[in-house]
C-alpha cells in the first residue's frame, strides 16, 4: 500500500468512527488488564459476561486475592482455559500488590513481568489504558495488515514493526482499534466483505469480493 493510500485509508476509518473503543468492558486499568488477560482464545462478549459478575465483587488486585483461587474460578469458569487464567491472574495480583502498590505499571518491561502478560497484552494495556501509540497485533490485525498491503509481515512482531513505521502519527493511538474492528466485522478470514468496506479503494487485495446474490 502506497504512503498516500495509507493516509486515505486511516482518514476514512477515522471519519466513520472518530473515537473507537475496545469492546471489552472496564472502568480502570486493573479491570482492563484483567479483561485482556481473560480474553486470550475467548470472545470479548464472553469475557464481558463474566466480568459483569466479577468486577462488582472484586475489581482490585487485593480484592481478587481475597476471593481465593476457587472463588475467582467460580466467576470466570464460562471462559475458555479459565483454570490457567485464574492462576495467572492470582499471581499477577500478588505481584501488583507486593511490587507496584496495587497499581498497573505503565511500561512494557514491567507489564511483561506479570504472569500471562505477553507483548500483545502489554501493548493493549499501554494503548487503551495509557494512550500510548502501541500496536497489539492479534489475528485480525495480522490478517488485515497482510491482506491489504498496509504492513506485510510473516510474524506478529514483523507486522507490529511495520505498522509502527507506516501508520501516520496522527492515527497511531487509535489505529489498533480501527484495524481490529475492520478485521472482526468486514475484512473477515474466510471471505472479506469488500462490498461493504469503506477502505476498499486503498487496499491491495485482489480480486475484490462481491455481495452475495439476492435470492428471488
d(CA 77, CA 109): 30
Please tell me what DSSP assigns to residue 201. Answer: G
d(CA 181, CA 193): 13
To the question of whether residue 203 is assigned a binding role by annotation, the answer is: yes
Q: What's the CA gap between 121 and 33, in Å, rounded?
A: 8
What is the C-alpha separation between 52 and 119, in angstroms, rounded?
26
Cα separations (Å) of 59 from 40, 53, 55, 140? Answer: 19, 10, 5, 29
Supply the residues annotated as catalytic.
120, 138
Do the annotations mark residue 93 as ligand-binding? no
Do 12 and 198 contact (CB within 8 A), yes or no? yes
Distance CA(113)–CA(92), nearest Å, equals: 9
Helix (H) or strand (E) run with residue 173 in it: helix 172-185
Q: If DSSP codes are grouped into helix, strand and coil, which group holds residue 211?
A: coil
Give binding residues as ranges.
187, 194, 197, 203
Give binding residues for [4Fe-4S] cluster as ranges.
187, 194, 197, 203
Amino acid at each position: 500500500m502506497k504512503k498516500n493510500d495509507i493516509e486515505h485509508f486511516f482518514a476514512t476509518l477515522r471519519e466513520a468512527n472518530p473515537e473507537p473503543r475496545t469492546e471489552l468492558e472496564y472502568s480502570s486499568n486493573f479491570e482492563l488488564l484483567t479483561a485482556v488477560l481473560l480474553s486470550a482464545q475467548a470472545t470479548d462478549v464472553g469475557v464481558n459476561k463474566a466480568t459483569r459478575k466479577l468486577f462488582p465483587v472484586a475489581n482490585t488486585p487485593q480484592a481478587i486475592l481475597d476471593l481465593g483461587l476457587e472463588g475467582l474460578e467460580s466467576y470466570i469458569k464460562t471462559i475458555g482455559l479459565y483454570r490457567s487464567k485464574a492462576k495467572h491472574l492470582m499471581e499477577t495480583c500478588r505481584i501488583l500488590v507486593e511490587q507496584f502498590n496495587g497499581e498497573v505499571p505503565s511500561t512494557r518491561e514491567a507489564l511483561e513481568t506479570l504472569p500471562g502478560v505477553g507483548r500483545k497484552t502489554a501493548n493493549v494495556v499501554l494503548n487503551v489504558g495509557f494512550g500510548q501509540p502501541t500496536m497489539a497485533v492479534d489475528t485480525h490485525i495480522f490478517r488485515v495488515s497482510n491482506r491489504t498491503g498496509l504492513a506485510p509481515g510473516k510474524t506478529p512482531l514483523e507486522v507490529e514493526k511495520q505498522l509502527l513505521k507506516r501508520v501516520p502519527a496522527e492515527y497511531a493511538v487509535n489505529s489498533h482499534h480501527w484495524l481490529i474492528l475492520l478485521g472482526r466485522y468486514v475484512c473477515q478470514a474466510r471471505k472479506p466483505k469488500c462490498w461493504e468496506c469503506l477502505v476498499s479503494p486503498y487496499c491491495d487485495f485482489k480480486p475484490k469480493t462481491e455481495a452475495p446474490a439476492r435470492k428471488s
